[in-house]
Amino acid sequence: MAKRLSLFAAAVRLVAGKDLRLEARTRVGLAQVLPFAVLVLVVMAFALDAESELLVRVSPGLFWVTVTFAAILMVGRSAALEIEPGVGDALRLSGVSPSALYLGKTIAVALQLLVLEAVLVVAIAILYRTPLAGWILGAATLLTATAGIAALGTLLAALASSARGRESLIPLLMLPVLAPVLIGATRATDAALGTSDGRQGWPWVALLAVFALSYVTLGALAYRPLMEDS
Amino acid sequence: MAAYHGAPMAPVVQLSSAVALLGRFPVLAGIDLEVDAGEVVLLQGPNGAGKTSLLRVCAGLVRVVEGNARVLGSDLAADPSIVRRRVGYLGHGSGLYADLSIAENLRFWARSATPGSGHPDAEIAEVAQRLGLGGRLDALSVSRLSEGQRKRAALAVLVLRRPELWLLDEPHAGLDRAGRDLVDELIAGAVVAGATVMMSSHELDRARLVAHRLVTVAGGVVTDDRPARRG
Amino acid sequence: MTTAHPTHASEEEASDSAGPTGTGSVATRVLGLFILVGGVLLAALGLALTDPDVQLGERMRPIYVHVPTVSAAYVLFVLNAVGSAMWLWRKSRFWDQVAAAAAEVGLVFLGLTLLTGAFWGRITWGVYWDWDARLTSTLVMFLAYLGYVALRGSMEDPAARATRSAVVGISAALLIPLVHKSVDWWRSYHQDRTLFGQLDPSIDGLQLFTLFLGLSLGMALAAWLLIHRFRVGWLAMQAEEGGLDDALAARRAEAASAADGVEVEAGGVADLVAAPPAEKEQP
């Protein structure tokens, strides 16, 4: 049992390492998705007339909407890697269990998203002049919400990867089911930043954790049939 | 673990009346074929005859919807995943990540078979070297390689995985003379090591020399099956 | 022994619909008649014969339609999840078609629910929409199943489509209670009572009967639409496929034509490029 678990963990590490290495080689996330996300923050400021009080008040929501947009691009890219010619066959022949593949890809997406979020937090502090506070609650929110977004996105992007119009299908499938995470993350961030009572943040973090866990379980179970019938 | 039980002469591939569909089209229309351990079988036939599908069925990549299919002793209908990790399949797509280097691809695909152990860098470098991918090439990303070099890299993955059944779809295509010789050498080596080989090829003159058996496929069925004239 | 024949197992399951050329049957016609008669009765009862509600007054009346549509939608989405699970478990194409039909019909009913709800909101609260917890989660659910239908529409391969949409169908069914719960929390954070807190109709006998009639009619209409939509899907599938036996025979016939030689030379193509097209016309 312990041996199988360590084999599984090794496979997860292998897949996550492979995806991160691909990002390191191509820098699509760093050179395209990250600037896009910052641009969204700027455009939001145009749309809201750069009214600084309003920007501070809505910055938790804007932050998570921006993260979601970036995540949609990232998971699409992550799924596209696996549909290069022959790669799908090679994966099925490789012996890597579908759940390990799923978890590895989810972890790689989550790590990239966390880096992106760190930059966006700084960008919001500077551009919107949002005072940062509540670091522990904030970090817990980032971790749990990111896990949920990455877990759900990785599953749905793989699912849509062979469909026509997958670029628009991914957000269409993802956003409704992600609604609770957006709500929870925004509320918890509100609490962390002191726009609302700080103690009200932790129940939301707990909810985010529940969602992350359900999405991960769902993905780990669903990935096998997805790979079989491609 | 499904044991490869039975007598040593139990066929490695055992298809009877096997039907396989691609979408709704019957690519295999009731095929009968037995391949024994250590054989080298050459599949020939016109384009669209079902050669590729036959190889993919044997790899457990295409489901058999009717008839029986056993490969390496396990029933493909029951669980193709057992067969998959024991076969090596060289298809039309290289199965390599275009943005990783050859070395990185080899490391990933070799280690994915045995996560957490095996395939030290030295072994991988050695295989790459022997297949003509050593030195500077090793660090080049696959997207910058020629068709033939990609094929060599895909072959290197097979070598590292040491499959019991080699399924090669037009292994000679796109390779230079040295590369085609390399394929023949690998096939011979695999047989010496006790593996079985099935391949399709349009390079009949060359492939006939390494094959033991010529199987002609047309319209999704076997139309001819005879020993090869060995040179 | 190869026993798992996904294609054939499911054909046996639905052998009763192997031959029909249309989507109607005696049963559906009887059901249709019941719905028509019941619909007239419901309109009479709901619009005129029942008394207005003690608190809501005339605004009670849309409830007779609103509650049935939403109940039918929920039943259909549960059926979608069941069909999805049966596809994943048994590779049953019958159940895959049931899941597809249930999602589409469910979407219609949920759309009607949102629409009647909006009108009810307009006459009761003065607005078509409010970010009330129940409204919001219903809208989210509607959008989730729109995604399901869109996914089905954008894939060709039947097995891949069935598996992928089954995963979406099951996830939607599992996650929607959680969505509902979180939206509940979200709204209760802002306000103490939901707008539905006002709704406390005291129902008399005839009103109860009307509501019950509405519910039965909703379910009957859902079943009627489901059966027809399913049969359309099933027939379309049969038509696209033709028989497997015919396809196999045609495929094997290719072997005969290729038997003359492995390298079949196609009558020569040199003339296609040997002369410019204009000159080729000349005798």
A162-181 pLDDT, tens digit per residue, is 888 889 999 999 999 999 89
| Cβ neighbours of residue A24 closer than 8 Å, sequence gap 6 or more | none
Q: Alpha helices, DSSP H only, in chain C?
A: 6-13, 26-44, 63-90, 93-124, 133-153, 158-188, 205-241, 244-258, 270-274, 277-280
The pLDDT tens digits for B15-55 are 999 999 887 789 999 999 999 999 999 999 999 999 999 99
CA nearest neighbour of B88 among B20, B217, B186: B186
Find the CB nearest A95 among B92, B99, B113.
Answer: B113
User: In chain B, whose CA is at the least distance from the CA of A98?
Assistant: B81
A48-56's contacts with Cβ under 8 Å and 24+ in sequence apart are A52/A128, A52/A129, A55/A128, A55/A129, A55/A130, A56/A128, A56/A129, A56/A130, A56/A131
Greatest mean pLDDT among B63-67, B132-136, C95-99, C261-265 lies in C95-99
Chain B residues near residue C246 by CB distance under 8 angstroms: none
The mean pLDDT value of chain A amounts to 93
Instruction: Band the pLDDT of C269: cuts 50, 70, 90.
Output: confident
Q: Percent of chain C beyond pLDDT 90?
A: 32
Phi, psi of B197 (to 5 degrees): -130, 135
Cα separation, C82 vs C92, whole angstroms: 12
Is the pLDDT reported for residue C16 higher than 60?
A: no
Contact residues on chain B for C157, CB-CB shorter than 8 A? 23
Q: What is the mean pLDDT of chain C?
A: 80
CA nearest to B93, candidates B25, B150, B37, B177: B150
The rounded distance, in Å, linking the Cα atoms of A24 and B103 is 15
The answer on pLDDT for C191 being more than 60 is no
Q: What is the structure's pLDDT at C262?
A: 44
Residue B193: what are its φ and ψ, rounded to 5°? -75, 0
- CB of C222 closer than 8 Å to CB of C76: yes
- Cβ contact, residue pair A176, C140, below 8 Å: yes
**B200 vs A50, residue with greater confidence:** B200
Neighbours of chain A (3+ CB pairs under 8 A): B, C
Tell me the percentage of chain B whose pLDDT exceeds 90: 69
Chain B residues touching residue A30 (CB < 8 angstroms): none
Dist. CA A192–CA A132, nearest whole Å: 8
**In terms of pLDDT, which residue wins out, C281 or B10?**
B10
The pair of structure tokens assigned to A190 is 């509100």
How far out from the chain centre does Cα B161 lie?
12
The distance in angstroms from the start CA to the end CA of chain A is: 30
Q: In whole angstroms, give the CA distance from residue C48 to residue A77.
A: 59
Q: Record the tokens describing residue B31, joined without a space.
A: 């095929």
* Mean pLDDT computed over A216-220: 95
The residue-averaged pLDDT of C28-50 equals: 87
pLDDT-derived band at A182, boundaries 50, 70, 90: very high
Mutate to test the interface with B, among A32, A93, A223, A228 (most CBs of B within 10 A): A93
Give the neighbours of chain C: at least 3 Cβ pairs within 8 Å: A, B
pLDDT at position C200: 53
Indicate if the alpha-carbon torsion angle C180, A210, C172, A165 is positive or negative: positive
Pick from C77, C158, C154, C164: which is nearest to C113 by CA? C77
* Residue C132 near residue C194, CB atoms below 8 Å: yes
Give dist(CA C237, CA B23) in Å, integer.
Answer: 12
Cβ of B219 within 8 Å of Cβ of C256? The answer is yes
- When mean pLDDT is compared over A80-89, C19-28, C143-152, the highest value belongs to C143-152
Is the pLDDT score of C258 beyond 80?
no
Q: For A103-129, what is the mean pLDDT?
A: 96
Say yes or no for a CB contact (<8 Å) between A180 and C178.
yes
Q: At what angle do helices C26-44 and C205-241 cross, to 10 degrees?
A: 150
Query: Any residues with CB less than 8 A from the CB of B192 and at least 6 apart, and which?
Result: none
Kindly report, residue by residue over B53-78, the tens digit of the pLDDT: 999 999 999 989 899 999 999 999 88
Smallest CA-to-CA distance from B54 within B193, B198, B205 is with B198
Burial of B150 (0-12, 13-18, 19+ CB in 10 A): buried
Instruction: Give the pLDDT confidence of C30-40 residue by residue, as tens digits.
Output: 899 999 999 98
What's the one-letter identity of residue C117?
Answer: G
Quote the CA–CA distance of C78 and C269 in Å, as a whole number: 60
pLDDT tier at A227, thresholds 50, 70, 90? confident
H/E segment holding residue B166: strand B165-169
Calculate ∠ Cα B60-C151-C106, nearest 5°: 120
CA gap C211, A76 in Å, rounded: 47
C158 reaches B (C-beta below 8 A): yes
**Per-residue pLDDT for A201 more than 50?**
yes
Angle between helices C93-124 and C6-13 (to 10 degrees): 60
Give me the amino acid identity at A86: G
Strand B64-71: give its sheet, edge to edge. Answer: B25-35, B13-22, B64-71, B74-75
Of C267 and A138, more confident: A138
Q: Which helix (H) or strand (E) covers residue B180, if one does?
A: helix B177-192
Give the whole-angstrom CA distance, residue A115 versus residue C142.
Answer: 34
Residue A210 has pLDDT above 50, yes or no: yes
Quote the pLDDT of residue B6.
44
**Measured between CB atoms, which of B24, B65, B218 is closest to C254?**
B218
- Torsion of Cα atoms, A26 then A154 then B60 then B212, to 10°: 0
Residue type, B207: A
Question: Do the Cβ atoms of C241 and B216 come within 8 Å?
Answer: no
Label residue C263 by pLDDT band (50, 70, 90).
very low
pLDDT at C260 over 90: no
Which ipTM score applies to this complex?
0.90
Q: Which comes out higher in pLDDT, residue A150 or C89?
A: A150
Put simply, the answer to whether B29 touches C252 (Cβ < 8 Å) is yes
Segment A43-53 mean pLDDT? 88
Q: How confident is the model at residue C19 (pLDDT cuts 50, 70, 90)?
A: low
Q: Are A170 and A157 in contact (CB under 8 A)?
A: yes
Average pLDDT over residues A105-120: 98
* pLDDT interval class at C194 (50, 70, 90): very low
Residues in chain C: 283
pLDDT tens digit string along C94-131? 999 999 999 999 999 999 999 998 888 888 888 898 88
Long-range CB contacts for residues B145-150, cutoff 8 Å, separation at least 24:
B145/B102, B147/B174, B148/B174, B148/B175, B148/B176, B148/B179, B150/B94, B150/B96
**Torsion on CA atoms C227, C229, C235, C239, rounded to nearest 10:** -170
pLDDT of residue C17: 44
Contacting residues for A45 by C-beta, under 8 A, at least 6 apart: A55, A127, A128
Cβ count near B198 (within 10 Å): 27
Q: Residue A195 pLDDT more than 90?
A: no
pLDDT at C20: 59
- Residues B172, B15 contacting (CB under 8 angstroms): no
Give the angle A196-A202-A203 at the CA atoms, nearest 5°. 100
Strand partners of residue A185:
none
Chain C contact for B42 (CB, 8 A cutoff): no
Nearest Cα residue to B198 out of B46, B65, B18, B12: B12
Q: Determine the residue of chain C that is closest to A179 in CA distance.
A: C179
Length of chain A: 230
What is the predicted pLDDT for the residue at C169?
Answer: 94
Cβ–Cβ contacts within 10 Å for residue A224, how many? Answer: 16
> Is the CB of B219 less than 8 angstroms away from the CB of C253?
yes
- Which pLDDT score, from 0 to 100, does residue C2 have? 38
